[in-house]
Amino acid sequence: EVQLVESGGGLVQPGGSLRLSCAASRFTFSSYWMHWVRQAPGKGLVWVSRINSDGSSTSYADSVKGRFTISRDNAKNTLYLQMNSLRAEDTAVYYCARVWVGLDYWGQGTLVTVSS
Amino acid sequence: SYVLTQPPSVSVAPGQTARITCGGNNIGSKSVHWYQQKPGQAPVLVVYDDTDRPSGIPERFSGSNSGNTATLTISRVEAGDEADYYCQVWDSSSDHDVFGGGTKLTVL
């Protein structure tokens, strides 16, 4: 069974940085596009970013563009989200998800809390 | 930016049919995906490309998409179907993916 495991979440002060990782296993990671999706406490799903299979093409939600960077290391089967200039409104559970047709597999998420 | 509109809540009795709508400008020209999310869990894909079901998803789940509205239909609703449901599309004009605001399905 496909497995996606996020890590790197935690408490960070406003203006700080954090790097999330998503370790992929039991599928050919380098063949799939990947997404990050977040969910603020008690709120709905919000798309954050997307990267193609070889990392040459990315896209970002307007709310994070210029602050967040998505990347991947296909040799390590790992997806990343570098988050800079964090704001209180970035507080959320961050999910990585695999693209097949729709997002067919999701990790369990990692919580990022931005607070002083 | 492209906006998807869902009703905040839908209620249905067990055994009845639930219909959850997702409105968007000319959404019928896009491929719509639907997700189910239960409390404390990650979302699960239940319908993709408007009408198709991933393996393991019951036939009770179906979808349609035309004009300005896509619909997720759950037939013979069970207590275990109680969850939040989200629609999602890719907007080619912005190259952004978009989720609807979500609909809480309550089984009475």
The DSSP-derived string for A60-106 is: E-TTTTTTEEEEEETTTTEEEEEE-S--GGG-EEEEEEEEESEEEEE
pLDDT at A109: 98
Query: What b/e sequence results for B28-43 when a residue is b if at least 16 CB atoms lie within 10 Å of its CB, and e otherwise?
Result: eebbbbbbbbeeeebb
Closest-CA distance, A17 to chain B, in angstroms, reads 24
Q: Which of A95, A97, A102 sits opposite B48 (nearest CB)?
A: A102
Q: List the one residue out of B18, B31, B26, B28 whose CA is nearest residue B2.
A: B26
Cβ B48–A101 below 8 Å, yes or no? yes
Q: What is the mean pLDDT of chain B?
A: 97
Is the pLDDT at B2 greater than 90? The verdict is yes
Closest-CA distance, A28 to chain B, in angstroms, reads 19
Q: Tokens 């919000």: give the residue.
A: A46
Is the pLDDT at A101 greater than 90? The verdict is no
Residue B54 burial (CB < 10 Å; 0-12/13-18/19+)?
A: middle
The conformation of residue B52, written as its DSSP 8-state character, comes to: B
| Chain A residues near any Cβ of chain B (below 8 Å) | 35, 37, 44-47, 50, 59, 61-62, 95, 97, 100-104, 106-109
Closest-CA distance, A73 to chain B, in angstroms, reads 23
Which amino acid, one-letter code, is at B12? V
Lowest mean pLDDT among A27-31, A100-104, B6-10, B44-48: A100-104
Cβ A104–B43 below 8 Å, yes or no? no
pLDDT in tens, B48-61: 999 999 999 999 99
d(C-alpha B36, C-alpha A97), whole Å? 14
Asked whether the beta carbons of B46 and B34 are under 8 A apart, the reply is yes
pLDDT in tens, A39-64: 999 999 999 999 999 999 999 999 99
Cβ A103–B35 below 8 Å, yes or no? yes
Cβ B52–A50 below 8 Å, yes or no? no
B43 contacts: CB under 8 Å, gap ≥ 6: A37, A45, A95, A97, A103, A106, B35, B36, B37, B86
d(C-alpha A6, C-alpha A57), whole Å? 22
pLDDT at A5: 98
